[in-house]
Amino acid sequence: MTGDRIYAWVRIWIMFLAVLVCGILSAQRTIKPDSPALAQWKARLPSVQKTLEESDEENCRGAPPAGIVDAFGTSGDAVSVALVAFCTGGAYTDSITAMRMDQGKPVLARFRDARGKNVEIEFLDGASAMHTVGVKLVAEKKGIYSYFADNDSEGKPAQCGVKAYVWNGRSRTFDLDPRLSKTASAEYCRSLRGP
């Protein structure tokens, strides 16, 4: 083997090792343990799947089994909630439903509009070049935020907003809060536009 070939092999091995080490370090940074709430919900995944099937929420033939996306609160808290992915919604979205614990069993969360009328809510989560939709839990508000953003042809935000649903312990529902929705929308839209 000539000196040039040895040098080339040494460079390849060094690059390989560098990529390997970077990959390992990156994986260690991104893997974090589940929160107690998330772990508790994941442990109840068979019950979650059964509840979805019994309620006809799981109507996507051939879809992968339900998965817990996020959660807050444990069974001893006033409210324990999880976002559950249960079906692909279209070209770029997944369907997400909200569930809560009721006497240790997962049940579908119920929602009401600003006037207190029961409403059916199915959240979508995903993004394309022009549209973004999503849902997130906000534990400190005991809320579920549904958000969207539509971009113009240049990729800049044209429309955006948030609907904030907050836990109502009396009615055991998540109620739309117009004031919080307005505040959350302003914050979210400002974050999209940047500083």
The pLDDT tens digits for 40-82 are 999 999 999 888 878 765 455 556 788 999 999 876 778 899 9
Q: In the chain, which stretches have pLDDT less than 50? A: 17-18, 20-22, 25-29, 58
The domain in which residue 125 lies consists of 33-193
User: Does 53 lie in the same domain as 69?
Assistant: yes
User: Does 86 lie in the same domain as 69?
Assistant: yes
Give the pLDDT of residue 122: 85
Using DSSP bridges, classify how beta strands 173-176 and 157-168 pair: parallel, antiparallel or unpaired: antiparallel
User: Does 45 lie in the same domain as 56?
Assistant: yes
Give the pLDDT of residue 28: 45
User: Does 171 lie in the same domain as 95?
Assistant: yes
- In sequence order, the β-bridge partners of residue 102 are 105
User: How many domains in the chain?
Assistant: 2
User: Does 142 lie in the same domain as 90?
Assistant: yes
Number of Cα atoms under 13 Å in the Cβ half of residue 171: 15
User: Does 160 lie in the same domain as 79?
Assistant: yes
User: Does 39 lie in the same domain as 51?
Assistant: yes
User: Does 99 lie in the same domain as 3?
Assistant: no
Measured in whole angstroms, the distance separating CA 191 from the mean position of its chain's CA atoms is: 18
User: Does 106 lie in the same domain as 77?
Assistant: yes
pTM: 0.78
